[in-house]
Structure 1
């Protein structure tokens, strides 16, 4: 699974002057060049369908982007760039269909929008200067942040793209152990792994990554536990500051820190490809069908055909007590009981 060519293609939907203006003034580019309505909402609090946190929300059919303002912070520009990513994906039918065909469309959509945001805010030449020909290291995220005006999230995404093979860059809160950002680099051949870090996951107090002191580094093999209790080994290179732990996770021992140890073959998502019509559109995704109706669970509303049908059914209040579609009942009674 190679995201780079898809993201490169998606960004060309914006002409060069718009891309240049966005890097200088995202708000102006969105409003004056793309004709979108951009509004700050102090009380905005939402989560996306994949469970990841966000500072923005789009109503793209109406051309509206809402965002939680963070004055004097680089995070606000990243939020606007991410929401623009959603706007771009909806206009690239080929990219939209490709995302729908993958193993975890909601998470992949957020990853694609993150990468679009990073490309818009962080010039590729600057990343080249910071990393050079070296293997990626956690300190490269810090170096990129200090040498640009991009947010930590954008810097993490730029470095994640340089990981050889499967990997991720993760930003973790030092105080509560919560993953605040995760940028995934899927395996070029096998795609999305079954176990991967994601926003909102928690590291337990004794986890090696939580024991790094500010200013210290760590390079070793670790075990990652996801929100469902599943575990998988990764190799990690990490650095800590007063607020966060920055960790690069790799599926293979790219730093040669554990000679002679072989990670067991990891599981990748091989669920069957399902197609349903739900939430106003056709959706194709990987998942297991409902054992009762044989249909897939919608990745947006999480309902199968059984669930959707049950929400439109009601028991007759007469003597039969059978279930009917609500429109077939009159004053709560079916045709036979009226």
Structure 2
């Protein structure tokens, strides 16, 4: 089982007539064919800690989907992506696989991204456009211009044709923030330790931000992740608002250069299990050196930190005590 298998199971779980109707009217399909409650939420903020596309939010148990109405192609993608969350939440084989393999929610988001792409943009269209050559940054723009799919959908469709490990990222030219990203993990080693992901930013003054409209280039760059950095070869295309970057392990676009495969580290941190914030969780990382328990991905606390989180300071000696040991803010030793 891998991400591709999960996507296939999710798509197959949607009735064929629903899949046929969805591209022409996603909102009507969700409400009339699947009995979901779908409501616009204009003030919906970016809230997903895992970096998912944040124009929507699902309450799966209640069958409720909230979305930010944009009136453009992205709105259709948001609805398709949230439908993906709803479908995956009902597929035990996919949930079991995610429980064993999802590090921080990125795999679930990737499955829902690809599920949305499958509903809105048949795979063969991107395959015909890319052809047998390497993926180029202009393929995303070409696909956007020739279909009714949004930029994220086009990016996801093209990323599936990357050779080996790679990624496609859309970077805002003003803020330098990665607004959309689609990653193709290494088939054997999984997710690299450093990879472009939504919410990351180029350093201020980065040379890519200085490129003019319609500029193109192929180069080797250093990408900085949260904790470390690594090199990638990139194919770059600058549009009016975005920088389209295709990331790869090797120079796919300059024949005869003999560009080496970049040696990189992959995420090999321990897979730890724990319980906090009302749910079981798995996370890759290192345990607390004191209690040897993992840090909760929601609140960020380990077991010993949770135990002392409610402690209060004595107003006389300023030592920390459990609230039950204080009387009017004063500990038993100071009373």
What TM-score do the two structures reach when normalised by structure 1?
0.89
The aligned residue for residue 22 of structure 1 is 22
1:8 aligns to 2:2 (yes or no): no
Q: Extract unaligned runs of 5+ from structure 2.
A: none
The aligned residue for residue 178 of structure 1 is 177
Deviation at 1:31, TM superposition (A): 1.2
Match of 2:253, SS state, is: coil
Distance 2:246 2:197 in 1: 13
Deviation at 1:48, TM superposition (A): 0.5
Deviation at 1:300, TM superposition (A): 2.6
Q: Extract unaligned runs of 5+ from structure 1.
A: none
Distance 1:251 1:211 in 2: 24
Deviation per residue, 1:252-287 (Å, 9 max, x gap) = 222246824435520100011111122333222322
**CA contact under 8 A between 1:103 and 1:271: conserved in structure 2?**
no
Distance 2:96 2:316 in 1: 48
The aligned residue for residue 69 of structure 2 is 69
Deviation per residue, 1:180-217 (Å, 9 max, x gap) = 11111101110000001111211135434323322221
Distance 1:264 1:238 in 2: 18
The aligned residue for residue 298 of structure 1 is 296
Could you say which structure has the greater relative contact order, defined with CA pairs below 8 angstroms and 6 or more residues apart? 1
Are residues 319 and 184 of structure 1, via their aligned partners in 2, closer, same or farther at CA, if it must alter by over 3 Å? closer
Correspondent of 2:272 among 270, 274, 278: 274
Are residues 260 and 126 of structure 1, via their aligned partners in 2, closer, same or farther at CA, if it must alter by over 3 Å? closer
Distance 2:169 2:31 in 1: 32
Distance 2:333 2:126 in 1: 73
The aligned residue for residue 158 of structure 2 is 159
Deviation at 1:23, TM superposition (A): 1.7
Match of 2:95, SS state, is: helix
Deviation per residue, 1:46-87 (Å, 9 max, x gap) = 32122455111112222211111112x101111111111211
**CA contact under 8 A between 1:106 and 1:299: conserved in structure 2?**
no
Deviation per residue, 1:199-238 (Å, 9 max, x gap) = 121113543432332222111211111244x211111112
Deviation at 1:333, TM superposition (A): 9.1
Distance 1:322 1:133 in 2: 66
1:31 aligns to 2:28 (yes or no): no
RMSD between superposed Cα atoms in Å = 2.7
The aligned residue for residue 238 of structure 1 is 236
The number of residues matched between the two structures is 335
What TM-score do the two structures reach when normalised by structure 2?
0.90
Show structure 1 runs of 4+ deviating over 4 A.
312-322, 326-338
The 10-residue stretch of structure 1 (43-52 or 128-137) with the greater mean CA deviation from structure 2:
43-52
Are residues 335 and 15 of structure 1, via their aligned partners in 2, closer, same or farther at CA, if it must alter by over 3 Å? farther
Are residues 199 and 217 of structure 1, via their aligned partners in 2, closer, same or farther at CA, if it must alter by over 3 Å? same
Distance 1:20 1:296 in 2: 45
